[in-house]
Amino acid sequence: MVFSSITFLFYFLPIVLAIYYIAPKKYRNLILLISSLLFYFFGEPKYGIIMVISIISIYFHGIWIEKAKNTKYKKIPLISGVFISIAVLFYFKYFDFLIENINLWLDKKIDLFGIILPIGISFYTFQMISYMVDVYRGDAKVQKNFVKLATYISLFPQLIAGPIVRYTTIEEQLENRTYSFEKFSLGIRRFVIGLSKKVLIANILGELVKVFGTYNDGTVLFYWLYAIANMLQIYFDFSGYSDMAIGLGKMLGFEFLENFNYPYIASTITDFWRRWHISLSTFFRDYVYIPLGGNRVSKIKWIRNLLVVWFLTGLWHGAAWNFIIWGLLFGVLLILEKTIFKNIIEKIPQIIKHIFVLLIVMISFVIFSGNKMEDIIMQILGLFGIGTAGVVSTVSIHYLKSYLIILLVGIIGSTPLIKKLAEKLENKFPKIINIAEILLIMALLILCTSYIIDGSFNPFLYFRF
């Protein structure tokens, strides 16, 4: 079940919200847990058992970690819990990838297992790890109420594609949440904005990306259309899902942390990763980079730490070499940015830095979305006119005209311009803007519903993670 589906929008969500608010507060976590399990089992009934078993394992490991805290064996339960969580993730996500590489490098012919990746396993695995580590460190209290812990891990708004919600973020909220009409209405607004990003922008841009995959006329313009559309689609798809998750959280009384902060206005690679997929970046910082020593070590070890983090960041996104290369590319760029080019970057005009970051990010997402390395190299070279069939063609001009408006909407929408304009108008005409906002949200919901009913192209890119 996806958020941008009729089943979710007009059946599952209204029923869950109605039962949730009718029930006494002491039963709301249980209702959320049951609803979340139904949400997950609806799409993946047999793999739902894996998640339930994982939750049971983490529950008892958390209690074990707490009991062993003041003993010389205190690391054993933590190592056990983290190992089991990573082992399950490794089997489902990377085991076939390992076999493929053994076959390739050692010239073997081992049959693949054909393992299907359970949806959302990368996200809820990281949440379980953060819980155990935080209990071990003393940053969080062990949760002895099974329903509350299971609710945290399986919470349907962020279960499938994040953001990665840490236990410490909602520890208190599992006990006490605030409810208000204003918070609920803000949740609706945020959800509809996210839905619109997904349905009205990402899906339409995805159609252009799909065209490139089936029909590539080999011109420079066509390569650029693909690269820009792909870059925007990934942003609006994932940030749209994060907006919907945050909005749903508000409707249910939760406050999730932001996951995106206009990353395409960044002027350095460092700044980009402070703005892009914030929950993943901070997870690797706090649970991998800092424990390895962070930057408080020798330069060689610091470089090692960064490369380890970015290797894992790439690998987390998928079991394929293009993801690993994508992650290591950013690792190398960050190292160069913080060392050799540090003083040079400070002297470069802001607009030049911004254009450079956009170019690097655009190329990185060509790598990210590619399949075969030879195709990826051809696509990148094609952006610069190498090995192309010319600059433009009637086909590329046709697709430029057809998708120009949505490309412009995507470019403008990826900046804070609309938000700043809305804030200025709200300060000058508060009553008019409040009414206009309600009408706009209603219109967007109707428009999204129409597109969902009429269209069949409705993928969530981050489901594969």
* 3-class SS shares of the chain: helix, strand, coil, % to 5: 75, 0, 25
DSSP 120: T
Residue whose C-alpha is closest to residue 133's, from 66, 88, 71: 66
**Spatial distance between the Cα atoms of 246 and 259, rounded to a whole number of angstroms:** 9
Residue 39 near residue 156 (C-beta atoms within 8 A):
yes
Q: Could you give the C-alpha distances from 168 to 140, 230, 304, 359, 395, in angstroms and in order?
A: 6, 35, 29, 37, 53
pLDDT given at position 254: 93
Alpha carbons within 13 angstroms on the beta-carbon side of residue 233 total: 25
pLDDT profile of the chain (465 residues), mean per 10: 87 95 93 93 81 94 93 92 95 93 89 86 92 94 94 88 84 90 94 95 93 84 95 95 94 93 95 94 94 93 96 94 96 93 87 95 95 90 89 92 95 94 87 89 94 69 53
Q: What is the chain's length?
A: 465
Q: How many CB atoms lie within 10 A of CB 454?
A: 7
Report the largest interatomic distance among the alpha carbons of the chain, rounded to a whole angstrom.
Answer: 73
pLDDT given at position 235: 96
**Spatial distance between the Cα atoms of 163 and 166, rounded to a whole number of angstroms:** 9
What amino acid occupies position 302? Answer: W
Q: Which residue ranges make up each domain of the chain?
A: 6-176, 183-464
Q: Cβ contacts of residue 409 below 8 Å, gap of 6+?
A: 201
What amino acid occupies position 350? Answer: Q
Left, alpha or beta for 120 (phi > 0: left; psi -120 to 50: alpha)?
left
The token pair at 350 is: 């802001």
Crossing angle of the two packed helices 373-383 and 350-369, in degrees rounded to 10:
150
The token pair at 190 is: 């945020």
Its sign, for the CA torsion 227, 229, 232, 237, is negative
**Spatial distance between the Cα atoms of 421 and 436, rounded to a whole number of angstroms:** 14
Its sign, for the CA torsion 153, 154, 157, 159, is positive
**Spatial distance between the Cα atoms of 198 and 205, rounded to a whole number of angstroms:** 10
pLDDT given at position 217: 80
The token pair at 298 is: 């020798």
Q: How many CB atoms lie within 10 A of CB 254?
A: 23
Left, alpha or beta for 385 (phi > 0: left; psi -120 to 50: alpha)?
left
Q: Cβ contacts of residue 152 below 8 Å, gap of 6+?
A: 127, 131, 143, 165, 167, 170, 174
pLDDT given at position 455: 67
Does 277 qualify as catalytic in the annotation? no
Exposure string of 337-350, with b = 16+ CB inside 10 Å and e = fewer, is: bbeeeeeebeeeee
Predicted model pTM: 0.92
**Spatial distance between the Cα atoms of 202 and 220, rounded to a whole number of angstroms:** 23
**Spatial distance between the Cα atoms of 220 and 386, rounded to a whole number of angstroms:** 9
Q: Long-range contacts for 333-337 (Cβ within 8 Å, ≥24 apart)?
A: 333/269, 333/360, 334/269, 334/270, 334/273, 334/306, 334/310, 335/303, 335/306, 335/307, 337/268, 337/269, 337/270
Residue of 277, 317, 354, 398 marked active site: 317
pLDDT given at position 158: 84
